[in-house]
Amino acid sequence: METVVSIPLSRTGAPMSRRRVLGAYLAEMRSECLRYLRAPGFILPMTLFSTVFYLMFGVLLNHGEASRYLLASYGAFGIMGPGLFGFGVSLAIERDGGLLTLKRALPMPPGAYLLGKMVMAMIAATIVMVLLLLIGVSLAQVVLSWGQVLALLLTGMFGVLPFCALGMFVGTLLKGQGAPGLLNLVYLPMAFLSGLWLPLSMLPRVLQQVAPIWPSYHLNQLTQAAVGLNDGPLLGHVLVLIGFAAVFLLMAARRLRRHG
C-alpha cells in the first residue's frame, strides 16, 4: 500500500485565487472551442450529415407536416453527432497522442477538460439546430412559433449531453483513429432504430417495441414535442436521458481513472 509521508517544508506554494481557478476553466473552454472551430475537417462532417439528409428527405422528397416531423427527427439525429464525435473522437485521439497525459500532469483544474469539450459540443449542436431551422423555415416552409424555435434550440443545447457521455465512454475504450469507425457503428444504427430516418410506424413491430431502450428515441420525443407533434408527458423522457448520461459518465470516469 502506498502512503504519503508529509515532509515539513520551509516554503509552500502560492495559493490559487478563486478568480484564477475560474479563469483556468474559461481558458480551457475557449481553447477547446477555438481549436475545433478552426478544424473544418472535424466540424463539417458533424454538421453536414443531418443538414444534407434533411435537404434530401425533408425538402426535396416531402413537404408540409412530413417536413415538420423530419425537422424534429433530423434535429435529434444532428444533435447526437457533436456529442458522440466531438467528445469521443477527440478523447480517443488525445489519449493516443499524449495530450491527456500532459494535461493530467499539469495542474489543470479537474473537470476543466471535460467541461471544455461539453461546451464545444453544446455550441456545435446549436449550430446544427440553427442550420436545420433555417432550411426548414425557408425552404420547406415549416411554420413555427418563436416559442417552438426556442424549445428546439434548448433541446439541442442540452440534449447533446447524454451523447457526450456515451461518446466519452467510447473514447475511453480505444485509442486514436479507430474511434470514428466504432462511433459510426453506434450512431447510425441507433438513429435508424429510434425512428430518426423513417418514422417508427414504418418499422417492424419488434423494432418499435424495443425503440425506448435507445436514448435517441427519447431525444426524438423531446424534439417532436418542441415542434408541436408530441402531446404526451415529457418528464419520463428527460429522466431517462439524465439517467443515461449519468451512467455513461460514471463508467467513462472510472475507465479514465484506471487506464488514463
Partner 1 sequence: MPHLRDPIARLDGVVKRYGRLTALDRVELCLRPGELLALLGPNGAGKTTAIGLLLGLIRADAGTVSLFGQDPQQLGARRRIGVMLQNAELPPTLRVGELLRLTASYYPAPRTLAETAELAGVIDLLKRPYAKLSGGQQRRVQFALALCGRPELLFLDEPTVGMDIEARQKLWAAIRQLLSEGCSVLLTTHYLEEAEALADRVCVMSRGRVIHESTVDALRARVALKRIRCISSVDAGVVGSWPSVSDAEQRQGRLHVTTAEAEAVVRRLLNADPQLSELEVQRAGLAEAFTELTRDAEQALPASQREVA
Residues that bind partner 1 in the complex, under the rule CB under 8 A: 1-17, 20, 23-24, 26-28, 30-31, 34-36, 38-39, 94, 97-99, 101-102, 104-110, 260
Nearer to partner 1, 42 or 158 (CB): 42
Q: How far is the CB of 13 from partner 1 (least distance, A)?
A: 4
CA distance 126 to 98: 30
Shortest distance in whole angstroms from residue 46 CB to partner 1: 15
* 196 and 113 Cβ atoms separated by less than 8 Å: no
DSSP 8-state code for residue 58: I
Instruction: Pick between residue 18 and residue 205 the one whose CB is nearest to partner 1.
Output: 18
Return the number of the residue (24 or 200) whose C-beta is nearest partner 1.
Answer: 24
User: What distance in Å separates the CA atoms of residue 115 and residue 187, rounded to the nearest whole number?
Assistant: 22
Can you tell me the distance from the alpha carbon of 185 to that of 213, in angstroms, rounded to the nearest whole number? 17
Which is nearer to partner 1, 9 or 235 (by Cβ)? 9
Cβ proximity to partner 1, 25 vs 57, nearer residue: 25
Helix axes 146-173, 88-97, angle to 10 degrees: 30
Min CB(101)–partner 1 separation in Å? 6
Q: How far is the CB of 99 from partner 1 (least distance, A)?
A: 6
Question: At its nearest, how many Å lie between partner 1 and the CB of residue 165?
Answer: 23
Provide the Cα torsion 235, 236, 242, 246; round to 10°. 150
For the chain, what is the radius of gyration of the CA atoms?
Answer: 21
